């Protein structure tokens, strides 16, 4: 009763705000919440003639393949570990780029850097995959060419799991550094210049200024981006792993993530119920972790939470 009357009060007070958010609410209702009913496919064995709801129930059978192989734990932990490595290294490197570019002197340097760093973002993973192949392959790879030149023997990268954690982390950062640092850069340039000037007059060094003014002002954005990444921590970047590692079984133990495993297992049968099951597994885990982290963040500083 109480909440109903408060809804009406809120509506009269903020009618325009309600209307402004209406398109988004409608959009998500139509294009996200309605199809959500399809999640039920994870528990069905799908038939084309009976449709989603008419198909017979399959119980938990669609989840079996995932646990049958005994790989569920390995690929789930791989997915998380890789994502953590991507998030941490990405955060540091991107922040550094944004700060250095913002402080750098020349306008042309700024422009040049931004454009340059954005290039990798435009290379499709297919091209990145063949590029990596050209660097590391045994016959004519550039790295092996260099090693040979310096009298060190060739290294069989593609037959050895030791290197790929680093290679993958490197290329993931390489591809997204320019793109993601743009967000941080936009935050820095929005900072009120007079704050910097005041600090300079007080005799603060550039490092002090960055630590005491720039970074604290960036924390809300950093937190949002962190939370968004954490919310996807159980999803692997399929293209990254698939295009760089491909079907090379020798590396799977070190590089297989949920998405590549599911793809490989189901490419033959194209089973809709089973892929829905794998998706639901990931969604449930993501949901749990984002609720938890958002809850913690909210406890500490409500402003930084996502919702």
Which residue(s) pair with 44 in the sheet? 57
CA–CA distance, 79 with 85 (Å, rounded to integer): 10
In the list 77, 130, 212, 301, the residue contacting other proteins (rule: CB under 8 A) is 130
Binding-site residue total for other proteins (CB under 8 A)? 135
Between 148 and 220, name the residue whose CB sits nearer to other proteins. 220
Nearest approach, Cβ of 297 to other proteins (angstroms)? 13
Between 148 and 192, name the residue whose CB sits nearer to other proteins. 192
Q: Does 87 bind other proteins (CB under 8 A)?
A: no
In the list 44, 79, 117, 230, the residue contacting other proteins (rule: CB under 8 A) is 117
Site for other proteins in 236-265 (CB under 8 A): 246-250, 252, 261, 264-265
Site for other proteins in 175-204 (CB under 8 A): 177-179, 182-183, 185-187, 189-190, 192-194, 200, 203
Nearest approach, Cβ of 22 to other proteins (angstroms)? 5
Which residue(s) pair with 57 in the sheet? 44
Spatial contact of 3 and 238, defined as CB atoms under 8 Å apart? no
Q: Does 80 bind other proteins (CB under 8 A)?
A: no
In the list 111, 166, 198, 212, the residue contacting other proteins (rule: CB under 8 A) is 111
273 Cβ partners below 8 Å, 6+ apart? Answer: 41, 42, 43, 44, 45, 46, 58, 62
CA–CA distance, 292 with 123 (Å, rounded to integer): 36
Q: What is the DSSP string of 11-45?
A: HHHSHHHHHHHHHHHHHHIIIIITGGGGGGGGGB-
Q: Does 142 bind other proteins (CB under 8 A)?
A: yes
Spatial contact of 303 and 220, defined as CB atoms under 8 Å apart? yes
Q: Does 1 bind other proteins (CB under 8 A)?
A: no
Q: Does 148 bind other proteins (CB under 8 A)?
A: no
Between 41 and 240, name the residue whose CB sits nearer to other proteins. 41
Q: Which helix (H) or strand (E) holds 30?
A: none
Output phi, psi for 44, to 5 deg: -120, 155
Q: Does 27 bind other proteins (CB under 8 A)?
A: yes
Q: Could you tell me which of 244, 269, 270 has the C-alpha nearest to residue 257?
A: 244
Site string for other proteins, 90-109 (x = CB under 8 A): ------xx--xx-xxx-x-x
Site for other proteins in 149-178 (CB under 8 A): 156, 158-159, 174, 177-178
Q: Does 86 bind other proteins (CB under 8 A)?
A: no
Nearest approach, Cβ of 150 to other proteins (angstroms)? 18
Sign of the CA dihedral running 123, 124, 130, 132? positive
Q: Does 57 bind other proteins (CB under 8 A)?
A: no
Nearest approach, Cβ of 81 to other proteins (angstroms)? 19
Output phi, psi for 57, to 5 deg: -70, 145
Q: Does 295 bind other proteins (CB under 8 A)?
A: no
Q: Could you tell me which of 118, 163, 165, 127 has the C-alpha nearest to residue 143?
A: 163
């Amino acid at each position: 009763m109480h909440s109903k009357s408060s809804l009406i009060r809120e509506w009269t007070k903020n009618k325009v705000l309600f209307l402004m958010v209406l398109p988004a609410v409608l959009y998500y209702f139509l294009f996200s919440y309605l199809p959500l009913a399809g999640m039920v496919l994870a528990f069905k064995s799908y038939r084309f003639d009976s449709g989603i709801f008419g198909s017979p129930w399959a119980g938990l059978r669609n989840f079996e393949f995932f646990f049958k192989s005994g790989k569920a734990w390995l690929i789930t932990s791989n997915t998380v570990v890789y994502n953590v490595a991507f998030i941490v290294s990405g955060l540091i490197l991107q922040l550094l780029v944004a700060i250095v570019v913002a402080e750098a002197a020349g306008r042309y340097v700024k422009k040049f850097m931004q454009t340059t760093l954005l290039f990798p973002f435009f290379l499709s993973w297919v091209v990145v995959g063949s590029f990596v192949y050209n660097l590391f392959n045994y016959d004519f790879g550039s790295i092996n060419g260099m090693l040979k030149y310096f009298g060190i023997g060739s290294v069989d990268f593609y037959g050895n799991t030791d290197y790929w954690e680093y290679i993958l982390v490197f290329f993931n950062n390489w591809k997204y550094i320019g793109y993601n640092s743009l967000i941080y850069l936009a935050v820095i340039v929005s900072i009120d210049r007079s704050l910097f000037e005041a600090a300079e007059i007080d005799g603060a060094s550039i490092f002090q200024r960055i630590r005491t003014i720039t970074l604290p002002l960036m924390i809300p954005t950093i937190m949002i981006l962190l939370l968004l990444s954490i919310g996807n921590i159980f999803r692997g970047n399929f293209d990254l792993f698939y295009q760089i590692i491909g079907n090379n079984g020798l590396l799977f133990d070190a590089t297989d993530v949920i998405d590549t495993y599911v793809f490989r297992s189901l490419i033959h049968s194209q089973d809709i119920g089973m892929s829905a099951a794998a998706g639901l597994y990931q969604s449930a885990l993501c949901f749990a972790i984002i609720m938890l982290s958002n809850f913690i963040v909210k406890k500490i500083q409500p402003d930084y939470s996502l919702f």
